[in-house]
């Protein structure tokens, strides 16, 4: 029996005002598919065994006294639809559900913990101040990239008297949250750190579908529809759309399978070739000869093996990628010039337009539950964990599990076969 | 061990052209939450045991010879976003995946099986004819309500030489599909009948979230946002929105929890009172006195206990409900007149606008998988079953399970408590 | 030469901070089409003569000293997309363009002028407080219906020291604005009253297309598309959509001509018959027999001649209309029962959903100009006038012109012939 | 009196089946503003005089015999929202209004006239084949760029027996249409050539607002909203949006004035400077110091004077522009590095996403009228002219007028002052 234990600051001593519908700390079994486990770099002891997780939800007793608890909320890294919904939900649940009255927003990500350096002012958060923020994309708290000095952060939390910290961010942020938790403990302070995993790329380990992903796919399909329209508008028109996805092709794959107009989906996980048998370019030619228009969707991390490395990193420490969109345009134009076949290449890079929008209805519901469950976990004294939805259930996952690696699209999975079948690109080299 | 067996027409004799990524007929365990089981009228033998389901997906061998198979597709009952996506996906998978070339659309639901009475002509379906139907709401095949003579249907299927029938419809339709299957067998014919469960109300048993539901909620929140705007636009403005949901309040509840502007959600599962302590009207008054505007969302089946029964039924045999929207308007106006408190009541009934739209990106992905899995099941010779997503996995469910009852929103569930907490209506009588 | 003079409080004494791009008080000629004039109840002296209007825009000298001017803004009557854009634009132009610092919002329409009775508190308006209100439908100031005591209003304006009043509302509101202006003058006060004409029905006299109308039509076509989907989804399906338009059918006609799926548009201006030759019902039958689905759009004021008068009025003094939607459903069902022809009637009444949405991009631009021109007019000392766009030019219109009558859709116009041609309903009695 | 005569093939000999609501060939006067005339490179003889135009609409007699008339429709150049609506409207009016039965679509722009070279097949157009094309962006006929041999085109029209040709395209296309008309005349053939002017940039001479422009602005504001969200999401975040507009900044200006979140609008007509007093970069710094985020919108043709010319041309003969988006990013990053002020630059180039979408409701209405009026003009024997809306009236314009020059945004106009006032950028050098 493999179970994922969750750290706790101690026993609950206070009555939970959310007395209805509490859950225990018992573990619930979930039969996670092998396909998913593989994508998460996990192996079950005995094939087909269940994994055991702590269920999310209000506990009978809570660890923190609502009247004395001070809460901080911080958003880190790139924007993602739903951030404001999670913030709103956390504030509403703390205020109306638990009676907590001291809630502060940490401005501009980790920078907000170091006012002596950055000068950003804390913001008081109340039901009124967050009431309509769901209408806005992005995060009303602001964000920033990259790490900060954890010891200074711990000092700040101490000075401010913050007992409970909600951290919205990606795997890098969750590593930082772990480091903050450790730094605080070293100073002998009591702090619960609860994460809500955020990634537009849907690549956080053991998180089946991250919030905002459905919205991003919605937006991505709009760009694809436009590229399709442009492609069919010209004889031998070729539409190319670049979508977010540095290390994983989930948005590209999902959008392509949603709007099945796409002929080629290029993702970082499947290393394609350009020329020769099974190459993209001859396949593209064949497609054009048959239908006189074609549509390519590429995740930004796709095809990096075909280009020299940039050797540069951004402020979050991520390698700066080569531009697959520019590369494809150049290669395609060169190839069809050689082939003496006039084509019209139309390139769309919606970039931030897939992520800087407000969440759709489903993502808003999801974010609402994530926020409420994060509060339940934090108030009950859990720490160094995130809330997540797995196999239809809300559970607690330890930081260590979600930061172990980034999840990838498994190209031997049934999901990917469905993508190949929807696009018809299974003849390409490197796709399986 | 509770497992849900699936009927089969016989052993697979043909090589599956979808050779990649096949699955076996072994059962996979799923830990369905007790909350969900309760809502489905199901009890596990031993508390906490897994339930075992047959996994969906292509089989190594198939029962039907693609070259000789003739397929029918029919859509029944009310419209639902995604019907055309399922039709498209079935046709594409049959054609490109299995090489089936004879596919016919049965026009206008069960009526289409009785041309001698209704005169509707069959439609040939090809990849070209279904290629862009995802852009349209509704069903390109047309639909109808109510049953038809099953013996005549069996005769028609025999005459047409149809071996494989895909039925898209609600629980009533699945009962009809079962009856068709029985009638065919009595005549000694070989036919596989595969269902894709459809319900805008999200109330099909053992189906966690039915296709089109996310889209419907998206649309419902637009009506709610308008009612909110109207309510705040007048002093003591009261917005009322009626949403679909004859016997279950899923759309109303989900939309309210998504767009947390709603103060009162009324659903068929929770019998509220109007006056006296814990009544809706005094609570509404209290809300207005505090904030000067209020927002009520009512499922169409809510509050029927407060009105006399109509005693009439529609062509599907459903009881015709009293109009909760008209009723609420009348009662609210009367109450506040008595209370001598001027209010402005604004009523919105989006009716078919929540269901007659094309599916959103997420629902399109979902419908694509349902269609493909339905084809895999049918070609492998399974019958009298539906494909469904349960706990994140695609599985086969026998007709008997999904037609056993309609799923209801469990008002002792954590989900409903979250709704109450989002609206703040837990003080109302009958809510818990 | 017919010119429309504008009243003025006096000569401009102050330098206009908007020194660029000023216009003079000279009249500009506009060749308004006879069709339009007829719809506005106007006759030109000599056929084909131009009409002369005062052009809108900043004047070289202004009447009010920005440092001492106090401005009030009030919104009256039903909601309309763009109200918040006009409010925002007025505030921005006053503040940034003219340096006015005292701007107050009058809450809840005319009620806001009588705090002793209604108790609503004034709201200070600043660039910051209005900066993002364009994202919201409705009016952030609130509104109300019906008249109030003009003498009390004048007293209130005097007490508050308001010199310049912007009134956003319909023709009834403009009559009230005129009465306020008179009442103020009687008390010897100096006040400029500038109107921005608002009507979702597009029926304000001499206003070609009122702000919000384009947005409303956008929304209306969504309801029509849904009704179309429902109609084609059933054999002999009949979709009916009721749209706003009490006395004029502009929304219905415009939406029908935009989404040319509509077979019958019923408007108040064209009295149709139900039965007999040229009647709606036989024409509907003919359409169904040919195409097996049909789509009807009815303005709410259509067909009133076929129903008994209600004899009741609402708080604005408007006659309460009979429900054409219910009426059509009943008559259609009865007729086809008699004809022994089964039909499926699907009714959609989007009601407030066409008007309670934020304005689209074009309407936002339009509202921006209306707001700025209203400020230019007010600061220069004009009064008892509205700003409007006529023949592509922004001009000043005296209150008397816009309140003279409501504009109707002229059923002998080329526009209406285009509607008839788009729908194919010219065979109906009463259409021409 | 300045009037714009329209060429005609001869007297109408046939009864017009559109007998209602006909107009005469008399000229109607329009008082076009001097601002607009200046932008169109036109001067009135006497200041303030009216210009006289031929009114659009059905004529009492028509030149072509509907039973014998063969019509061609062609779409040229870049895509634009509404092309399919115009095509649909032309086909519907020809078929239902005039009874014409021979209508062909010329595929892929001017290429479609030279089948011997390109091999594209003509497409028959009927009400059924165009009935739902309004749902699609782009053009169902396909398009291409660049000129073709006019003599070959004339031969093709002769062989096909086409009498009436509708040409949808920009000013280059209208020049080509004129050349086709001349080439046909030289061969002694009788052909009417009617244009519907199309430009996403809104820069066609004497066309106030071209179809599709409102839709493009709608889409453009979505990109701007996303850039704003990204900019406020980071401390000192700078959002940059590049929008279409090679020689004129209408989309950029209109979008900025619609969504007044933009701080700097850069257009080709106003040559800004980067550094020094009145330069963009110091102004940007000042803005950031005050508000910590900033938003720049640049038309693609803006700032070309700051970069070396590319010296290359595309297939339409247009100069290939330098990339103002890349340039701004580079310059901004360099400047703030020098200034030692960390900023976060977020760049969005929605490119084809602003033009490859279906038209909005208003544009659909507009396109419907343009198509109908084009048919009225063509059937009555007019030729070498376009239909356009000017000062609220539909009129005929000779080719010569619309091809005389491209319309520019006049930076001394009241419109541009309003943009400056909305953005607050009037301090920049070169803006006025």
| C236-246 residue pLDDT tens | 999 999 999 99
Asked if the model's pLDDT at residue A44 lies above 90, the reply is no
Partner-chain contact B372 A421, CB within 8 Å: yes
Q: Which of residues 167-206 of D touch C (CB under 8 A)?
A: none
Contact with chain B for residue A220, Cβ under 8 A = yes
DSSP B232-298: HHBTTEEEEEEE--SS--HHHHHHHHHSTT-SEEE-TTS---SSSTT-HHHHHHHHHHHHSEEEEEE
From chain B, the residues in CB contact with A366 under 8 A are: none
Q: pLDDT averaged over chain B? A: 94
Distance in Å, alpha carbon of C216 to nearest chain B alpha carbon: 13
- Count CA atoms within 13 Å of residue A256 on its CB side: 31
Asked if the model's pLDDT at residue D211 lies above 70, the reply is yes
CA distance to A226, D265, D283, D304, D428, per residue, from D425 (Å): 33, 8, 8, 19, 6
**pLDDT tens across A383-428, in order?**
999 999 998 899 999 999 999 999 999 999 889 998 998 899 989 9
Two tokens, residue B292: 């000067």
From chain C, the residues in CB contact with D33 under 8 A are: 392-393
**D67 burial type by CB count under 10 A (0-12 exposed, 13-18 middle, 19+ buried):** exposed
How does residue B392 score in pLDDT terms, banded at 50, 70 and 90?
Answer: confident
Give the separation between CA C110 and CA B63, rounded to whole angstroms: 76
Output the pLDDT for position A47: 64
Asked if the model's pLDDT at residue C34 lies above 90, the reply is no
Output the pLDDT for position B176: 97
Give the separation between CA A131 and CA C384, rounded to whole angstroms: 40
3-state secondary structure B74-127: EECCCCCCCHHHHHHHHHHHHHHHHCCCEEEEECCHHHHHCHHHHCCCCEECCH
Any catalytic annotation for residue C26?
A: no
CA distance to C143, C301, C304, C322, per residue, from C319 (Å): 20, 10, 11, 10
- Closest by Cβ to B218, choosing from A18, A29, A360: A360
**Nearest-CA residue of chain A relative to B134?**
A259
pLDDT above 90 as % of chain C: 85
How does residue D47 score in pLDDT terms, banded at 50, 70 and 90?
Answer: low
Contact with chain A for residue B93, Cβ under 8 A = yes
DSSP state of D390: E
Partner-chain contact D232 A138, CB within 8 Å: yes
Q: Which residue carries 């400077």 as its tokens?
A: D273
Supply φ then ψ for residue A345, to 5 degrees.
Answer: -95, 125
Partner-chain contact C418 D29, CB within 8 Å: no
Supply φ then ψ for residue A63, to 5 degrees.
Answer: -85, -40
**Nearest-CA residue of chain C relative to B356?**
C226
**Nearest-CA residue of chain A relative to B362?**
A214
Distance in Å, alpha carbon of C18 to nearest chain B alpha carbon: 34
Partner-chain contact A227 D144, CB within 8 Å: no
Contacts with D208 (C-beta within 8 Å, 6 or more apart), sequence order:
C392, D36, D388, D389, D390, D391
Average pLDDT over residues D267-283: 97
Of D311 and C162, more confident? C162
Asked if the model's pLDDT at residue B315 lies above 90, the reply is no
pLDDT above 70 as % of chain A: 99
Q: Which of A96, A120, A126, A92 is nearest to A108 (CA)?
A: A120
Output the pLDDT for position C421: 87
Give the separation between CA A264 and CA A255, rounded to whole angstroms: 12
**pLDDT tens across D239-263, in order?**
999 999 999 999 999 999 998 899 9
Give the separation between CA B398 and CA B29, rounded to whole angstroms: 16
Cα B206–chain centre separation:
11
Give the separation between CA A32 and CA A42, rounded to whole angstroms: 10
Output the pLDDT for position D237: 98
Identify the CATH class of D2-210+357-403. alpha beta
How does residue B318 score in pLDDT terms, banded at 50, 70 and 90?
Answer: confident
**pLDDT tens across B165-221, in order?**
999 999 999 999 999 999 999 999 999 999 999 999 999 999 989 999 999 999 999
Active site residues of D: 201
Q: Could you confirm whether domain A214-356+412-423 is CATH 3.30.390.10? A: no
Q: Which chains touch C (3 or more CB pairs under 8 A)?
A: B, D
From chain B, the residues in CB contact with A260 under 8 A are: 88, 92, 134, 368
Q: Hey, what CATH topology would domain C214-355+412-423 get? A: Rossmann fold (3.40.50)
Contact with chain A for residue B372, Cβ under 8 A = yes
Q: Which CATH number is B2-209+358-402 given?
A: 3.40.50.450
Burial state string for C408-417 with b = 16 or more CB within 10 A and e = fewer than 16: bbbbebbbbb
Q: Which chains touch A (3 or more CB pairs under 8 A)?
A: B, D
- Range from A23-27, A45-49, C72-76, D328-332 carrying the lowest mean pLDDT: A45-49
Partner-chain contact C255 D217, CB within 8 Å: no
Distance in Å, alpha carbon of B360 to nearest chain C alpha carbon: 15
3-state secondary structure D259-327: CCCCCEEECCCCCCCCCCCCCHHHHHHHHHHHHCEEEEEEECCCCHHHCCCCCCECCCCCECCCCHHHH
Give the separation between CA C302 and CA B257, rounded to whole angstroms: 38
Output the pLDDT for position D185: 95
Partner-chain contact A421 B96, CB within 8 Å: yes
Asked if the model's pLDDT at residue B20 lies above 80, the reply is no
SS3 D124: strand
Asked if the model's pLDDT at residue C293 lies above 70, the reply is yes
Other Cβ atoms less than 10 A from the Cβ of C330: the count is 12
Average pLDDT over residues B153-166: 97
Two tokens, residue A99: 């009676």
Q: Could you confirm whether domain C2-210+357-402 is CATH 3.30.2130.10? A: no
**pLDDT tens across C319-349, in order?**
899 999 999 999 999 999 999 999 999 999 9
**Nearest-CA residue of chain C relative to B350?**
C350
From chain C, the residues in CB contact with B223 under 8 A are: 353
CA distance to B308, B372, C60, D217, D424, per residue, from D431 (Å): 71, 59, 21, 22, 11
H/E stretch holding C299: strand C293-299
Contact with chain B for residue C108, Cβ under 8 A = yes
How does residue A248 score in pLDDT terms, banded at 50, 70 and 90?
Answer: very high
Of A29 and C82, more confident? C82
**pLDDT tens across D365-374, in order?**
999 999 999 9
**Nearest-CA residue of chain D relative to A109?**
D234
Asked if the model's pLDDT at residue D360 lies above 70, the reply is yes
Break chain B into its structural domains and give their ranges: 2-209+358-402, 213-356+412-423
- Choose, from C171, C201, C203, C363, the residue flagged as catalytic: C201
Q: pLDDT averaged over chain A? A: 95
Contact with chain D for residue A114, Cβ under 8 A = no
Output the pLDDT for position C191: 97
- Closest by Cβ to D226, choosing from A347, A349, A352: A352
**pLDDT tens across A322-381, in order?**
999 999 999 999 999 999 999 999 999 999 999 999 999 999 999 999 999 999 999 999
From chain D, the residues in CB contact with A352 under 8 A are: 226-227, 229-230, 346, 348
D275 and D291 Cβ atoms separated by less than 8 Å: no
- Choose, from B155, B201, B203, B218, the residue flagged as catalytic: B201
Output the pLDDT for position B77: 96
Two tokens, residue D163: 């009498």
Give the separation between CA D408 and CA B10, rounded to whole angstroms: 74
Partner-chain contact A226 D352, CB within 8 Å: yes
SS3 B313: strand
Mutate to test the interface with C, among D258, D369, D394, D411 (most CBs of C within 10 A): D258
Identify the CATH class of B213-356+412-423. alpha beta
Two tokens, residue C123: 């709201």
Contact with chain C for residue B115, Cβ under 8 A = no
Distance in Å, alpha carbon of D141 to nearest chain C alpha carbon: 20
Shared fold status for D2-210+357-403 and D214-355+412-423? yes
Q: Which of B238, B232, B290 is nearest to B264 (CA)?
A: B238
Give the separation between CA B280 and CA B301, rounded to whole angstroms: 16
How does residue D36 score in pLDDT terms, banded at 50, 70 and 90?
Answer: confident
Contact with chain C for residue D276, Cβ under 8 A = no
B379 and B387 Cβ atoms separated by less than 8 Å: no
Partner-chain contact D258 C18, CB within 8 Å: no
Partner-chain contact B23 A258, CB within 8 Å: no
Two tokens, residue C165: 């009043």
- Closest by Cβ to A29, choosing from B50, B254, B362: B50
CA-based max dimension of chain A: 78
- Count CA atoms within 13 Å of residue B376 on its CB side: 27
Asked if the model's pLDDT at residue A258 lies above 70, the reply is yes
- Closest by Cβ to C21, choosing from D390, D391, D417: D417
From chain A, the residues in CB contact with B421 under 8 A are: 18, 93, 96-97, 372
CA distance to A210, A226, A360, A365, B223, per residue, from A214 (Å): 8, 19, 8, 12, 21
């Amino acid at each position: 029996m493999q179970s994922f234990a969750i750290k706790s600051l101690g026993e609950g001593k206070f009555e939970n005002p959310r007395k209805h519908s509490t859950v225990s700390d018992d573990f619930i079994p979930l039969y996670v598919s092998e396909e998913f486990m593989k994508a998460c770099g996990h192996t079950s002891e005995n094939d087909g065994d269940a994994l055991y997780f702590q269920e999310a939800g209000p506990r009978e007793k809570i660890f923190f006294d609502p009247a004395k608890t001070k809460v901080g909320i911080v958003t880190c890294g790139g924007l993602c639809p739903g951030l404001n919904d999670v913030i709103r939900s956390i504030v509403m649940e703390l205020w109306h559900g638990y009676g907590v009255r001291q809630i502060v927003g940490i401005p501009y990500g980790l920078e907000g913990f170091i006012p002596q350096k950055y000068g950003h002012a804390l913001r008081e958060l109340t039901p009124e101040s967050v009431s309509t923020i769901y209408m806005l994309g992005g995060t009303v708290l602001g964000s920033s990239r990259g790490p900060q000095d954890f010891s200074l952060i711990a000092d700040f939390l101490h000075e401010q008297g913050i007992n409970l910290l909600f951290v919205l961010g990606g795997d890098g942020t969750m590593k930082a949250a772990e480091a903050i938790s450790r730094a605080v403990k070293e100073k002998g302070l009591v702090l619960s750190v609860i994460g809500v995993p955020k990634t537009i790329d849907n690549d956080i380990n053991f998180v089946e579908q991250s919030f905002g992903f459905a919205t991003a796919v919605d937006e991505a399909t709009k760009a694809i529809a436009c590229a399709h329209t442009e492609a069919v508008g010209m004889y031998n028109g070729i539409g190319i759309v670049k979508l977010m996805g540095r290390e994983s092709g989930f948005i590209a794959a999902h959008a392509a399978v949603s709007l099945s107009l796409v002929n080629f989906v290029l993702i970082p996980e499947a290393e394609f070739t350009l020329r020769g048998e099974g190459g993209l370019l001859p396949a593209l030619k064949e497609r054009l000869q048959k239908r006189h228009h074609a549509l390519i969707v590429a995740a930004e991390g796709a095809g990096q093996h075909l280009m020299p490395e940039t050797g540069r990193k951004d402020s979050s420490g991520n390698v700066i990628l080569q531009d697959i969109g520019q590369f494809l345009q150049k290669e395609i134009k060169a190839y069809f010039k050689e082939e003496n076949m006039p084509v019209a290449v139309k390139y769309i890079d919606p970039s931030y337009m897939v992520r800087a929008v407000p969440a759709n209805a489903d993502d808003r519901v999801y974010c609402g539950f994530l926020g409420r469950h994060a509060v339940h976990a934090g108030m009950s004294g859990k720490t160094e964990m995130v809330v997540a939805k797995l196999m239809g259930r809300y559970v607690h996952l330890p930081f260590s599990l979600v930061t172990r690696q980034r999840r990838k699209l498994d190209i031997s999975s049934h999901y990917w076969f469905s993508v190949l079948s929807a696009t018809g690109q299974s003849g390409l080299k490197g796709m399986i």
